[in-house]
A and B are shown apart, each in its own frame.
Chain A
Amino acid sequence: MITVENLTRTYGGFRAVDDVSFTARAGRVTGFLGPNGAGKSTTMRIMVGLTPPTSGTALIDGRPFAELPNPGLDVGVLLDASAQHAGRTGREILAVAARTMGLPKMRVEEMLRRVSLTDAEADRRVRNYSLGMRQRLGIAAALLGDPAVLILDEPANGLDPAGIRWMRDLLRDYADEGGTVLLSSHLLHEIEVVADDLVVIGNGRIVAQGTKEELLAAAGTLVRTRDVAGLTRALSAAGIASSITGDGAVRTDADAEQVGLLAMDARVPLTELRAADGAGLEEMFLELTAESQREGNTEGVAA
């Protein structure tokens, strides 16, 4: 289990991580979601003791990471698959890590097989690895000590679709066996498939968190019609806020029955009426992304 409490990290006047609290539970895959530069990597670096926090704590099963006697056996970490010595072979990198943890050499071969790196690939220098191969090597290094907790920063980056599927199954199995998995991504769809719990971060602050079901259920109703103007008029006349999604549908927090009745009274023919299923989450996420890409951040994200 990972417990993060009131974590803050500032750089000069800039709050990269701003009062972040969440828990990644055992037996669950927790998705840490946010646009680039939202503070995901900084939070993860603080968790594993690479970056000192300005205030707050991050604990692994109740203990600070730096106090674990041999952390590789408890926590598997992959922060950046490219952060390896380019002149070392994949096998050497695993051998050095295994030796540091005090593991037998055969563990290296087991892990190479587990991540499907061939002998020839393992003997190549990392300089000549594709990003996908580096990710596999990084996963192998993280799994080496058979830890109960995995902390992975954008592990699906650079993997092909089959690789992404493989990664998803691996993490699912890991959590099903009782492990704690925290993985970050800036892609909602990538994380939606595998995560049980979601923590959404933007501009250093947590903007939403809960089980995936909760977050998806809270997403409201999605309506389609050829008469969008008529529908929004009817909704606003009834005091119901609505917004138009990217593909021309109308999304509102009101439930489907209420929307259907209002549409009938206003004689607006509907072509689709259903629970939004994550459309709200996606919208919130897009808003976050758009905001972080604009110069001079504007207010308006619900905390």
Chain B
Amino acid sequence: MTCALSIKNLTKTYASGVEALKGVDLSVEQGDFFALLGPNGAGKSTTIGIITSLVNIGGGSVEVFGHDIVRDKEAAKSCIGLVPQEFNFNQFEPLIEIVANQAGYYGIERKRAYIHAEKYLKKLSLWDKRHEMARDLSGGMKRRLLIARALVHEPRLLILDEPTAGVDIEIRRQMWDFLREINAQGTTIILTTHYLEEAEQLCRNIAIINKGCTIESSAMKDLLLKLHEETFILDLREPLSELQAIPGYKITQIDKTTLQAHISREQSINELYAELTRRDICVLSMRNKSNRLEELFLQLTGNGEAA
């Protein structure tokens, strides 16, 4: 089966001389929910810009459902819906016009464009606001407007560039449910996000870009198996004046009632508890310091120290 997206040796050097992409390779299967991650400046937005024709391609090739984005540009563009990182709609236009006009640019007749606009504005709980100017919406509503606009021509590939940035938890979870729903209906989704919990919750496959190159591309569960060590925070019942070293374990005392423990895949938390109990240290609760994907991400991108 043809890939939804196939990128081979993609390179890009901007006029300023900045080499944003040094050879990105990606392959996204049809129907996938795919995470594209990387630290700031890694090249994610440039990659998305090239896929969506907002940035001129440097070298290499990009195919969307088998359509080359240079030779078969119109067909490739017809398959894509983009939710950009920044709000890029006319702030002085009513929502219904923004969404219906976008459908029109894809050749959808006005009457049908309004029907599509109604469908997606309702799905994203914006129908009541349809006659309001975009500038009068809250941040969360503007994010949802970007999604409605990207979906109005019913693309086969939806690309979301940090769609939940600045959105509160309740709306974020509603957006997750909505994205899962449209993915279940067959839309391939590529997601970039800085909320790695989001990527872990939603995506089945993942690629990590760093310094303009693909450094990892695999199934999410396979990638998480590569995590050799997890960091846990232990809250203690009684204050501890000084922690004696526990052989074989990397444990640091953060304050009198909090410990930080690094547990490798070969070690067991039960054994650690046993050692602590032996020292009359009672653990009240335990949590991951950060989410598993986040730890792995920091290890792979060489930013582990910052964690």
The answer to whether A and B belong to the same complex is no
Q: Which residues on B are within 8 Å of A, measured CB to CB?
A: none
Q: Which residues on A are within 8 Å of B, measured CB to CB?
A: none
